[in-house]
Amino acid sequence: MDTEKFFKEILPTLKNPKDPTTALLVGLVFGGIGLAVYFRKVIDFFIPIGIVIALEILHTQLQGQGLIYIAAGALIAAAYGYLRAKYSNEMLAQAPGNGAISSSPSIVQSCTHCGYTLEPAATFCPHCGTRRAGATSFS
């Protein structure tokens, strides 16, 4: 299977753009668990871990070489994180409403504190809790 097709057509596109370099570093340091937290998708834990387990099964002749699998796991998670963020960002850029011409114009607002993309009806940022600029109070 083609790598680009896997990341663009099989995996669900992330809701918000993610930095590929950050994803690479998170994958390298924290592995699949870190990627699942960073991308907020459980599938991003299972895919890199599954690849490492499959490689370990295929290379049973390397018994006693556990350090190789730790290094391989970190590198696989780093590469997966980078590609996942890169291709998901490409899909988000091509989606209607993200620079493409659409029939209904919409204003996209980001959180002034953390930069998270806010839903049109949001009063607070769901990522950091900061009150949205221009939000009215009901007191």
Instruction: Say how many residues make up the chain.
Output: 139
Per-residue pLDDT at 27? 92
- Does the structure show a pLDDT above 80 at 81? yes
* Nearest alpha carbon to residue 27 among 90, 67, 72, 60: 72
Is 109 in contact with 118 (CB distance < 8 Å)? yes
pTM: predicted TM-score of the whole model, two decimal places: 0.62
Per-residue pLDDT at 49? 86
Mean per-residue pLDDT of the chain = 79
pLDDT digits (tens, 9 = 90+) for 19-57: 999 999 999 999 899 999 999 999 999 988 888 888 777
Rounded to an integer, the average pLDDT of 1-19 is 81
- DSSP for 72-118, please give it: HHHHHHHHHHHHHHHHHHHHHHHSTTTTS--SS----EE-TTT-PEE
Q: What are phi and psi of 117, to 5 degrees?
A: -70, 125
Q: Which of 5-19, 38-52, 120-134 has the lowest mean pLDDT?
A: 120-134
Tokens representing 109 are: 């607002």
